[in-house]
Amino acid sequence: MKNGEFSLGLRVYIEDTDAGGIVYYVNYLKFMERARTEFMRAQGFGKDAIFNRDLMFVVRDVAVEYRLPARLDDELQATASIRRLRGASMVFYQSVRRGDEILAQGEITIACVDCSGIKPRRLPPEVVGILQGTQQEQ
């Protein structure tokens, strides 16, 4: 992780593309999901650690700008960094890049909910403490 930004290397497979060999738009969201999951795992919050605290993180809002297409066999980087922490949510800035080119970028808001009732729940203080240390300057 560099300057609060986590990066995950990916390769585009045929299953990621449409008939023209271009990455289908929804797959950028899948790439971003993988980067967020690995970012959280790197902070010590893998799925077991989260579920053992009776909480889940769910996507509440997505705003993505698609700029350039990725193609079959491209090597990409999906990034994740925290922009804002709120009581029961966090906002990630994410991108999918090919080298220095930004192919897609956006903000994804993640809500913290309890596992049993799927009701909003404040981020636990220990989670906030660790994530604040990774928060990217705006």
The pLDDT of residue 49 is: 66
As a whole number, the mean pLDDT across the chain is 91
Expressed as residue numbers, the domain containing 64 is 6-132
Candidates 66, 69, 68, 72; CA nearest to 21 is 72
How many domains in the chain? 1
Q: pLDDT-derived band of residue 122, with 50, 70 and 90 as boundaries?
A: very high
Domain containing residue 72: CATH number: 3.10.129.10
| pLDDT tens per residue, range 23-35 | 999 999 999 999 9
Is there a domain that residue 13 lies in?
Answer: yes
Rounded Cα distance, 10 and 76, in Å: 5
| Sheet architecture: strand order including 101-114 | 6-11, 75-85, 89-98, 101-114, 55-66
> Taking 70 as the threshold, does the pLDDT of residue 137 lie above it?
no
Options 16, 18, 74, 100, the catalytic residue: 18
**Host H or E run for residue 41:** helix 25-42
Task: Indicate the Cα dihedral angle 134, 12, 62, 135, nearest 10°.
Answer: 10
Express each pLDDT in 50-73 by its tens digit.
Answer: 766 788 899 999 999 999 999 999
Question: Per the domain annotation, does 120 fall within a domain?
Answer: yes
* pTM reported for the whole predicted model: 0.90
**Which letter does DSSP use for residue 122 in this model?**
P
Q: Is 18 a catalytic residue?
A: yes
